């Protein structure tokens, strides 16, 4: 694999992971034109592992707070992770096949924009903000499971799902980024 192409893909991953756009989708699209060789799913996994290290570094104090003081969030994170685990185990091959279909990924990127718009509208229309709870955690987890598809933003779909469930922006974003750790 060409190291320069890998570095370019790592930069794409680093930029896109923290924006409400699909880093996996962009990796597939850039990878199609760069043709880095090797296994694209494996490369994506390694690049996402690098992102995990960055998320842990940025959210270290939140992680410590959750683990030692706010343990109910740990239970909500477990609930929110279950749909992605189930989806990953049941449809692993199907998800991997989609990595080879850039045209479909283009449509999924458009779907991400619809999800973001729905979250924005919900945030403006829901005036009485709600607490997280197990059902909202499960709904946000289902959004995360859908985001296994390259082209659907994990952070965008989970934050939007949180907003649609009535969470405020800060709580929704915090929970979405904490969810990235087990995912």
pLDDT of amino acid 141: 97
Distance CA 78, CA 142 (A): 12
How do the pLDDT tens digits run along the chain, 183 residues long? 578 888 888 889 888 887 888 988 888 888 887 876 667 677 778 888 888 888 788 888 888 888 888 889 989 999 999 999 999 899 888 887 887 788 899 999 999 999 999 999 998 888 788 999 999 999 999 999 999 998 999 999 999 999 999 999 999 998 998 888 887
3-state SS assignment for residue 151: coil
CA separation for the pair 123, 167 (Å, rounded): 8
Q: Which residues contact 182 (CB under 8 A, 6 or more apart)?
A: 77, 78, 81
Q: Write down the pLDDT at residue 136.
A: 96
- pLDDT value of residue 172: 93
Predicted local confidence at residue 1, as pLDDT: 54
Beta carbons of 43 and 96 less than 8 angstroms apart: no
State the Cα–Cα distance between residues 50 and 55, nearest whole angstrom: 9
Token digits of residue 73 = 């969030």
């Amino acid at each position: 694999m060409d190291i320069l192409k890998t570095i370019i893909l790592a930069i794409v991953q680093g930029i896109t992971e923290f924006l409400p756009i699909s880093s996996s989708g962009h990796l597939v699209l850039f990878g199609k034109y760069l043709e880095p060789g090797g296994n694209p799913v494996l490369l994506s996994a390694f690049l996402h592992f690098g992102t995990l290290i960055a998320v842990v570094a940025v959210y270290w104090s939140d992680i410590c707070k959750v683990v030692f003081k706010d343990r109910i969030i740990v239970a909500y994170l477990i609930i929110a992770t279950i749909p992605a685990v189930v989806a990953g185990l049941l449809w692993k091959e199907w998800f991997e096949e989609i990595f080879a279909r850039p045209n479909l990924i283009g449509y999924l990127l458009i779907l991400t924009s619809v999800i973001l718009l729905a979250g924005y509208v919900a945030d403006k229309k829901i005036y009485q903000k709600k607490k997280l709870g197990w059902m909202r955690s499960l709904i946000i987890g289902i959004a995360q499971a859908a985001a296994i598809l390259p082209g659907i933003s994990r952070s965008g779909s989970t934050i939007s799902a949180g907003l649609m469930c009535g969470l405020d922006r800060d709580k929704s974003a915090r929970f979405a980024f904490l969810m990235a750790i087990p995912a």
